[in-house]
Amino acid sequence: MSENLARACGTNSLQPCPTAQSSTHEGYGSWKANDGNTNGNWYGQSCTCTAISSSNPWWRVDLGKTRTVTSVKLWNRADCCADRLQGFEVWIGDDASYSANSRCLTGGAALLTSPYDILVDCIGTGRYLFVVLPGNNRILTLCEVEVYGGECS
């Protein structure tokens, strides 16, 4: 597996890349899914959370430039609520809005048992990678996201 592209930004390519999410619940900001900490316990303070009962909540990492992506590894909550990630999608492209990009994974299955991480194939190119939960009344919580691939040829 190659380096984690989500943590290969900055002048020396060793800093976490910028993140964003559709909304934030009580300070559980987007950056927590790109902090290098895979702790899946809510009280470990390393998980993101969008606002309660959101429509189509999303999380995004800006890889800094167009990259080739081959796979994505997600860490789900481990203390409860793991089923909330059921049906997630991964989108990638050069637009800062997920719906203007290409979906590289549809209907991802949440990992409901230990170790609560899942590696999915996601073949595509783009500057922005999104994790999206389609539908109404959804809550997106991610405890870490790693993006694998390399430079575009």
Q: By three-state DSSP, how is residue 34 classified?
A: helix
* pLDDT recorded at residue 1: 58
Indicate left, alpha or beta for 81 from its phi (over 0: left) and psi (-120 to 50: alpha): left
How many separate domains does the chain show? 1
Burial (Cβ within 10 Å: 0-12, 13-18, ≥19) of residue 12: exposed
pTM score > 0.85 for this model? yes
Q: What range defines the domain where residue 42 resides?
A: 5-151
Q: What are the residues whose beta carbons fall under 8 Å from the beta carbon of 29, sequence distance 6 or more?
A: 21, 48
pLDDT at residue 153 above 70? no
| CATH code at position 132 | 2.60.120.260
pLDDT at residue 107 above 90? no
Largest Cα separation within the chain, whole Å, is 42
Give residue-wise pLDDT tens across range 48-79: 999 988 999 999 999 999 999 999 999 999 99
CA 16 to chain centre: 13
pLDDT at residue 83 above 70? yes
Task: Compute and round to an integer the Cα radius of gyration of the chain.
Answer: 14
User: Which of the four pLDDT bands, split at 50, 70 and 90, describes residue 110?
Assistant: confident
Which residue, 72, 63, 46, is CA-closest to 8?
A: 63
Tell me the mean pLDDT in the region 138-150: 96
